[in-house]
Chain A
């Protein structure tokens, strides 16, 4: 092998770089988050839509809600099951999910999601 020193240095850099998630993962890896439902949310049993839909697509719904409420003044959302909800992050969503730090933030922090909801909305005060 020619230029042994340089080539081996290069290979070591390559291996360390591309296995870094594994090397770090071996040392430490946090457990998956467990978002906690507030008592009120637990009682309601059902969110605006089905749980699977909410888990995957709540951001889409919030985006649509915002656009419809702000731009078209549409303040009533009719869910798939026919129930009507007031379109409001603070008064509808956060009314049940009043525990932002134990509910929203759990997954958001885990997956490094930084929603810009709270640039306009006021974060709910939590009773800790």
Chain B
């Protein structure tokens, strides 16, 4: 169900600029939509982050994958179960750059009747790494269109990315890896019954969107080419706030741009916010020093208490009268 909703939503997102990006419509899809999308992305991102930052964390959540620091004769794991800020920074960096929690992914299978089999499953980790890093490379490569003059590292990255020198324009490995990894991430949701069961439209939609984005980009680079100089003129116009629509850019560019605009505008309201959310994961960003330092629940309100000393002050005379023992005479 969700899969078809997402699929046809993305198809619609392709058809809209295909039909609309003609004549005056080019100003709408080439200038108005990208500006709105960038604004939505930045404001929405900040809004979500501030919302998270306002949320109190009532407990330390030491769900960790290692031995905590305790007695001197028990060897602690300073990265998987850090007790200091330094350890937390290392753990967070490994999570952000190497997706360590995906590395721990396991698979459970029923084998030969009532026998449960646990095994390591690294495919998700491999595909996620490939996907994210390929996307990063593709993103950085696009800076050749955002900046004039082009920063030096873009050309360097491009020559590494295209070192197989297949075809003209040169085949970029990152583009192929990005598309294949995104396809794998989609296929695993369809092929694994358990995953299919828990997958929602919100899981399929970003995948289809990114697959569409990558496909339109690859089509534009290798098959239905557009005049890249005019494209850069348009993009430079956008970033320098002198927007122009150069004549004769093929509609495939407007499809690519529209899919990107939808992706970044959708970003703050979707699961894609894990980019910012990972820094707010209590299981990743808190040192496990439960026993060394008291964590006070920030939403604790001041509780009205009536201590025994106060109680005794109230009733001392009466207590002495009936012969009850008192602490203070």
Tell me the A residues contacting B by CB distance below 8 Å.
1-4, 7, 10-11, 14-15, 18-19, 21-22, 24-26, 28-30, 32-33, 52, 55-57, 59-60, 62-63, 107, 110-116
Which label, helix, strand, loop or mixed, suits the secondary structure of the B interface?
A: helix
B42 CB within 8 Å of chain A: yes
Say whether B49 contacts A7, CB under 8 Å. yes
Docked CA distance A60–B220 (Å):
13
* Contacts A10-B49, A26-B240, A59-B168 given; does A21 touch B147 at CB 8 Å: yes
Tell me the B residues contacting A by CB distance below 8 Å.
38, 41-42, 45-46, 49-50, 53-57, 143-150, 154-155, 158-159, 165, 167-170, 225-230, 232-233, 236, 238-242, 246, 248, 250, 276, 279, 298
**What are 10 A-B residue pairs whose CB atoms fall within 8 Å in the complex?**
A2-B56, A11-B50, A14-B45, A18-B42, A25-B236, A26-B241, A32-B229, A52-B227, A60-B168, A114-B155
B149 touches which of A1, A30, A60 (Cβ 8 Å): A30
A15 touches which of B42, B158, B225 (Cβ 8 Å): B42
Docked CA distance A63–B222 (Å):
12
Nearest CB of chain A from residue B312's CB, rounded to whole Å: 40
Say whether B147 contacts A24, CB under 8 Å. yes
Nearest CB of chain A from residue B214's CB, rounded to whole Å: 20
In this complex, which of B154, B167, B246 has the most chain A Cβ atoms within 10 angstroms of its Cβ?
B167
B239 touches which of A1, A2, A22, A112 (Cβ 8 Å): A22
B227 touches which of A55, A114, A115 (Cβ 8 Å): A55
B143 touches which of A14, A18, A21 (Cβ 8 Å): A21
Docked CA distance A14–B268 (Å):
13
* Contacts A2-B298, A10-B49, A112-B158 given; does A21 touch B146 at CB 8 Å: yes
Say whether B154 contacts A62, CB under 8 Å. no
In the A-B complex, the 3 residue pairs with the closest CB atoms: A25-B239, A112-B144, A21-B146
Say whether B232 contacts A32, CB under 8 Å. yes
Say whether B148 contacts A110, CB under 8 Å. yes
Nearest CB of chain A from residue B96's CB, rounded to whole Å: 12
Chain A residues with CB below 8 A from B242, complex form: 29
A29 to B, closest residue via Cβ: B240
Chain B residues with CB below 8 A from A1, complex form: 50, 53-54
Docked CA distance A3–B49 (Å):
12
